Amino acid sequence: MRGSGVAYPELVIFDNDGVLVDSERLANTILAELLTDAGLPYTFEEAVRDFMGGSMVSMRTKAEARLGSALPADLEDRYHQRLFDGFATLQAVPGVEAVLDALDAAGTPYCVASSGTHQRIRTALTAVGFWSRFEGRVFSAEDVAHGKPAPDLFLHAAAALDTKPDRCAVIEDSPLGVAAANAAGMTVFGYAAMTPPDRLASADATFHEMAALPTLLDRS
């Protein structure tokens, strides 16, 4: 902690998928299967590489450019149906509940800013028992014109919670999210669980276990 007894950061902004909820394996498995069925062969690993951290709007734009034609109009609906079915067994990311407990104990506010839809965020956070901790402090790519890697979503969250961007710390697990946080002028910590650390190299620091995060936040 720096300064004269003022807690830093003043706001911690969590990504959702892969940071709060352990959803990326399920989500990218489903996405790869749907794209393959639509005539664009994709493996799980390729879906992670190309789409993890982005919105379904940006996924469609990129995939259709590669395919050279339109994806089925109901692809997003089928994706979310299968995803929400799978959320019945969704788990929180290991160790993140203790991080939230530590922030609560320190009186440090936090929120979630996700490329997912509001319905997806609410469904996921409810499934792992976190909804009451975030209700009223949930920000979705649906709320802004440009999702990650644009800074819009993080800046929107900071403004809504009356916090200057340079007082915010972002927790992200995707290159798109780290780029968005950098563009917003925020401190960003990269959770390198599924993503190779070198792809998060533009973060202020990377970490591999949630237990390491409170110390990083204290120093930010």
Catalytic (active-site) positions: 15, 17
Q: Looking at beta carbons only, is 140 or 174 nearer to Mg ion? A: 174
Which residues, at least 6 apart from 33, have a Cβ–Cβ distance to it below 8 Å? none
Distances (CA, A) of 170 to 29, 71, 74, 121, 128: 26, 33, 33, 17, 21
Q: Looking at beta carbons only, is 54 or 165 nearer to Mg ion? A: 54
Q: Looking at beta carbons only, is 18 or 165 nearer to Mg ion? A: 18
The minimum distance between CB 181 and Mg ion, in angstroms, equals 12
The minimum distance between CB 180 and Mg ion, in angstroms, equals 11
Select from 154, 128, 130 the least CA-distant residue to 141. 154
Q: Looking at beta carbons only, is 18 or 190 nearer to Mg ion? A: 18
Give the helix/strand (H/E) hosting 140: strand 138-140
The minimum distance between CB 174 and Mg ion, in angstroms, equals 5
The minimum distance between CB 72 and Mg ion, in angstroms, equals 25
CB 208 within 8 A of CB 193: yes
Read off φ and ψ for residue 215, nearest 5 degrees: -65, -40
Q: Which residues bind Mg ion (CB under 5 A)?
A: 15, 17-18, 53, 173-174
Q: Looking at beta carbons only, is 15 or 22 nearer to Mg ion? A: 15
DSSP letter assigned to residue 217:
H
Which residues, at least 6 apart from 125, have a Cβ–Cβ distance to it below 8 Å? 16, 20, 21, 112, 131, 133, 134, 138
Read off φ and ψ for residue 148, nearest 5 degrees: -55, 135
138-140 and 205-207 beta bridge pairing:
unpaired
The minimum distance between CB 176 and Mg ion, in angstroms, equals 8
Which residue has its beta carbon closest to Mg ion? 18
